[in-house]
Amino acid sequence: MKRAFLHGFSKWNRSTGSLLVLFFIVLMPADILATYNTVTINRTSCLEASLDGEQTEARTLLEQARKILYQNPGEAKNYALKGISVAGQSGDERSLASLINILGIVYDLQARVDSAEACYNQAFELYRRNKDYCGMVKVLNNLGIIMHKKGMYDKALEKYDASIELLQKEKCEGSVADAYINIGLIYKEISEYHKSLAYFLKAQEIYEKDKNEEGLVYTDINLGTIYIILKDTVKSLSCFQNALSTASRLKDSVNITTCLNNIAGIYSEQRNFARALEYNFRSLGITENEGDAYGNAFTCFNIGDTYFKMNKLESARKYMGRAMAIFLKAGDKYNIAKTSQSLGQLMLKQGNYANARVMVEEALKIGTILNSKEILRDCYFTLATLDSLSGNYAGALNAFMKYTAYKDSIFNLQKSQQIAEINVRYETESNQKQLELLKKENEISKMSLASKSMVIYLLLGGLALIIAISVLINMYMKLRSKKKITELTLRNLRQQMNPHFIFNMMNSVVYSLQNNEKERSFKYLHMLSKLMRRTLENSQYNEITLREELETLMLYIDLEALRLKDKFSYEIRVSEELDQDMCTIPTLLLQPFVENSIWHGLLGKENGGLVRIDVSREGRYVHCRIEDNGIGREAAARRRRNGSGHHQSKGIAITGNRLRLINTVIEKDLTIHYTDLVNDDHSPAGTSVEIYFPYHSN
């Protein structure tokens, strides 16, 4: 089937190709958008404790450099260089190793990755020679960061694992949480979000236990970036604001700029561009003053993204170009690919197709090496548009199919359930720890009572209370887990519906084009692009207003009427007591039933087909009645069995599943009733479908 379809595609005439180009151009603004680069941050390690022994000049310089490392990397570098000279002359190898490690961190912040790697290797040898295992642990973690930035994920994971193994074997000072943060970032970049989230939460638990505020800043930032991907803006913004508050108190300029960038990105996605630029330029000023090249690169990229959304393309190109120069200097494969893809989108919008293709293909090459599904997804969508504009329609279809495959693989039901389970398990464990703490506090307070009998009563009462609370929390967490997984499943089923709906529409476009009806095809394709835009916009919501649902439905019916050359008509009537702008309805609820009426009820009639949609309010419920004067369900079923009906609709089955899940989540009844209509002589007169759902006000 696929080969035959592609073959036919390549033989379309010039006018057909022009229409397909129009289709991509109309859709492009809704789908091809630069996405702000969430600023994740690796957890670098430097020695925290003071070195034993006499306080020398080298050790004084080491402490000064360590103290201001993240507040002022440029000044820390000066202290480190001076300390290296002093320690080298005095033969203090332990101080020398620590100073070289700090210099490596400074070079890393300045995007001088090769210089940072050389420093870390030199520091590691000094630590190893002096059997300083704690120092070796920290340098292994820092070397893992360098491998990560070079796109050598396997080697990076080897360094992190070696760091954890050595730390546990030698009982060193330090925390495995540093490595957990960095491992989580690798999994994030290859779209394994459930693994990434698990590692970040494990790190957070350790930092909380150790009361490590600096570590908690890192976990808040990285958890915030995961919640952005999961479309949980409230959680992500809370994480970034918590991190910003702590980083400001610690005067940690690197993490301050990271938080500012991510908060700006959220405002940019919400199209609050003035607020986004305000945060971005605050970050830019700090990174330029402190010599934080990486922070400067991320800030420039995100300023460019905001200008792109504002359609200020030259300004966008200027700032994205500045970001690219820094990422290229650092050899940061992942961010080079992200920036190349975004520049490709920008050049496409400017009409510079040749250079756009060069940038996107470079990003695709790196994304393939890194196995980054996000980068590959975005590249294939842009290539689909470029191929359609250049007349390579078979290539456009092939690229679009790959885009869809990567898009679907990033979030499937299994991964969504794993993410939900990780969140719920972590929250359950936190509650259990609080219960244990409550139990201990109760025991202490009871022992201070003078009366022995009172102690016994309180012990019994406290035990009963703890058991009751434990049972209630356990019941609550199970219910919450079920609801979270159900909501994710509901979202997934809704996403299944869109490809099904779009596939049916594309078949109708092909049917019209193959009959060489140019004017009708042009009108059809224009209406289809408008319908797809509206469908894609609506599909991100569980519910939309009744007016939006009916407007989308009318577009669909008009398309079918045009394709079938007005073999049927339709009526939509809404009761005056229903405010269409206030009443909400589950997204894409009515379309599958109308589609069923047209394809299975009315196609069996020669002419005079009619679909009538009535919407009214009955007490606490909204009543939707979809009625057709077709051949009836029994005759339609016979046609399908005999092979007369080629249309295999999955929309009704998917909608039925959706309604069952909605009932579970909101705990209210949504019901469907079918009625076979008959004439006076009991011959089939059509089908009626009645849908009841609770009235919700927007």
Give the model confidence (pLDDT) of 348-372 as tens digits: 888 899 999 999 999 999 989 888 8
Confidence of residue 474 (pLDDT cuts 50, 70, 90): low
Q: Phi and psi for 232 in degrees, rounded to 5?
A: -105, 80
pLDDT score recorded for residue 9: 33
Report CA torsion sign: 458, 461, 467, 470: negative
The residue-averaged pLDDT of 237-254 equals: 89
- Of residues 410 and 10, which shows the higher confidence score? 410
- Of residues 320 and 450, which shows the higher confidence score? 320
| 358 membership: H or E segment, kind and range | helix 353-370
Give the separation between CA 218 and CA 143, rounded to whole angstroms. 18
pLDDT score recorded for residue 538: 73
Question: What pLDDT digit, counting tens, does each position of 215-232 carry?
Answer: 888 888 888 888 887 777
| Residue-averaged pLDDT of the chain | 76
Contacts within 8 Å (CB) and 24+ apart, 360-368: 360/386, 362/337, 363/336, 363/337, 363/338, 366/151, 366/333, 366/334, 366/336, 366/337, 366/340, 367/337, 367/341
Give the separation between CA 614 and CA 273, rounded to whole angstroms. 42
CATH code of the domain occupying 541-697: 3.30.565.10
pTM: 0.52
Contact 362, 181 (CB under 8 A): no
Confidence of residue 431 (pLDDT cuts 50, 70, 90): very low
CA distances from 657 to 517, 637, 668 (A): 39, 21, 15
Q: Is the pLDDT of residue 495 over 50?
A: no
Confidence of residue 203 (pLDDT cuts 50, 70, 90): confident
Distance from CA of residue 511 to its chain's centroid? 36
Secondary structure string (H, E, C) spanning 188-250: HHCCCHHHHHHHHHHHHHHHHHHCCHHHHHHHHHHHHHHHHHCCCHHHHHHHHHHHHHHHHHH
Percent of the chain with pLDDT over 70: 71
pLDDT score recorded for residue 359: 94
pLDDT score recorded for residue 48: 45
Q: Which of 322, 295, 287 is nearest to 307 (CA)?
A: 322
N- to C-terminal Cα separation, the chain = 45
The residue-averaged pLDDT of 72-90 equals: 87
Domain locations along the chain:
411-517, 541-697
Give the separation between CA 571 and CA 314, rounded to whole angstroms. 49
Give the separation between CA 464 and CA 451, rounded to whole angstroms. 20
CB atoms within 10 A of CB 270: 11
**Amino acid (one-letter) located at 173:** E
Q: Where are the alpha helices (DSSP H) in 515-617?
A: 518-538, 546-563, 591-596
Q: Is the pLDDT of residue 322 over 90?
A: yes
Percent of the chain with pLDDT over 90: 14
Question: What pLDDT digit, counting tens, does each position of 608-664 carry?
Answer: 889 999 999 988 889 999 999 888 878 777 776 665 555 555 556 666 666 666 666
Q: Is the pLDDT of residue 451 over 80?
A: no
Q: Which of 613, 629, 610, 615 is nearest to 578 (CA)?
A: 615
CB atoms within 10 A of CB 497: 21
pLDDT score recorded for residue 462: 65
The residue-averaged pLDDT of 239-265 equals: 88
pLDDT score recorded for residue 357: 93
The residue-averaged pLDDT of 12-29 equals: 44
